[in-house]
Amino acid sequence: MIRLEKITKTYQTATGPLQALNSIDVHIQKGVIFGFIGFSGAGKSTLLRSINLLERPDSGSVFIDNEDIAKLPKKELLQRREKIGMIFQHYNLLLNSTVYKNVAFPLEIMRIKKPEIEKRVMKSLEIVDLPEKTDDYPAKLSGGQKQRVAIARAITTEPKILLCDEVTSALDPQTTGTILDYLKKVNKELGITIVLVTHEMEVARTVCDYVGVLENGYLVETLNMTENAVNTPQSKIGRFLFGNGEGI
Ligand SMILES: Nc1ncnc2c1ncn2[C@@H]1O[C@H](COP(=O)(O)OP(=O)(O)OP(=O)(O)O)[C@@H](O)[C@H]1O
Ligand SMILES: [Mg+2]
């Protein structure tokens, strides 16, 4: 469903060029939860943002359902992006808008009619168990509730893919568990393919079917986390994920 081929990205910095991604090849199958794990600066966010071309790679191709979206004209790219939701570490909610307005926002941009917006907003809020919060402002919500609103906003456009950038990093372990449960629910019940990036081993272990290990802009290995999969991890992070590393 998602195929990245030879994705390379170099940033120009004050101290010279910095290669954030080095010829990344990866295939993410429909319906899975695929995680990328790595330390700060490994290139996780850059890679995630290249899936919807918020970050344009210097070279390489991004295929979504066999279509190279890097080759599309702007208008068509924007249309394809409507089918790729995204959530972030700090929720990115509109603070001066109610929960309802936040979730309705992407649909208003798509010029969807009001009754349909209402239907979709309520359906999305029900999935994250927050239908009673429609009139509240984000300031009144806990971190976990804010992230649930962000999930509702992301799924309201009925995306095929959901990109998640460190979406539990600002949350305590218990709330992290709750958010991961909602991500699993969205994956299973709505059939949305999820790509997430995290530096938290526990997150990768709890929800991911596959984990790609990123180190300094290189994808060093991809591990199958599904039950009974046989892996012989080569990287330190990989060995740690399977509980046979000495710690990192
Ligand atoms: N806009 C930019 N300009 C210059 N350098 C950048 C830019 N964005 C990212 N980088 C650099 O590219 C590298 C990869 O960054 P990226 O944000 O993808 O890492 P990350 O794995 O998401 O890190 P973190 O866990 O801290 O979020 C880092 O060295 C970063 O400093
Ligand atoms: Mg990042």
Residues 6+ apart with CB under 8 A from 230: none
CB atoms inside a 10 Å sphere around CB 198: 24
Ligand 1, atom 14, lies closest to the CA of 43
Domain total of the chain: 1
Residue 235 falls within a domain, yes or no? no
Enumerate the H helices of the chain as residue ranges.
Answer: 44-51, 74-81, 99-109, 114-127, 143-155, 173-190, 201-207, 236-241
Q: Starting from the CA of residue 212, give the closest ligand.
A: 1
With 70 as the cut, is the pLDDT of residue 20 above it? Answer: yes
DSSP 136: -
Ligand 1 atom closest to residue 166's alpha carbon, by position in its atom list: 27
DSSP 6: E
With 80 as the cut, is the pLDDT of residue 244 above it? Answer: no
With 60 as the cut, is the pLDDT of residue 190 above it? Answer: yes
DSSP 167: T
Q: What's the pTM value of the predicted model, to 2 decimals?
A: 0.95
For the Cβ of 18 lying below 6 angstroms from any atom of ligand 1, the answer is yes
pLDDT tens-digit readout, 109-119: 999 999 999 99
Residue 199 falls within a domain, yes or no? no
Q: Degrees (nearest 5) of the Cα angle 177, 190, 151? A: 50
Confidence (pLDDT) at 180: 98
Residue 108 falls within a domain, yes or no? yes
Residue 173 falls within a domain, yes or no? no
Confidence (pLDDT) at 165: 98
- For 238, counting Cβ atoms within 10 Å of its Cβ (0-12 exposed, 13-18 middle, 19+ buried), the class is buried
- Report the alpha-carbon distance of residue 67 to residue 232 in Å, rounded: 33
Residue 91 falls within a domain, yes or no? yes
Residue 214 falls within a domain, yes or no? no
Residue 96 falls within a domain, yes or no? yes
Residue 128 falls within a domain, yes or no? yes
Tokens of 162: 């959901």
Q: Starting from the CA of residue 21, give the closest ligand.
A: 1
Please tell me whether residue 97 adopts helix, strand or coil conformation: coil
Ligand 1, atom 12, lies closest to the CA of 20
Using CA atoms, how far residue 105 sits from 32, 134, 229, in Å, is 27, 13, 41
pLDDT tens-digit readout, 200-222: 999 999 999 999 999 999 999 99
For the Cβ of 44 lying below 6 angstroms from any atom of ligand 1, the answer is yes
Confidence (pLDDT) at 238: 87
Q: Which of 7, 18, 237 to mutate to test the pocket of ligand 1 (most atoms within 8 A of CB)?
A: 18
Confidence (pLDDT) at 245: 59
pLDDT tens-digit readout, 103-148: 999 999 999 999 999 999 999 999 999 999 999 999 999 999 999 9
Calculate how far, in angstroms, residue 217's C-alpha sits from the geometric centre of ligand 1: 10
| Domain that residue 120 falls in | 84-158
Asked whether 197 and 44 are in contact (CB, 8 A), the reply is yes
For the Cβ of 12 lying below 6 angstroms from any atom of ligand 1, the answer is no
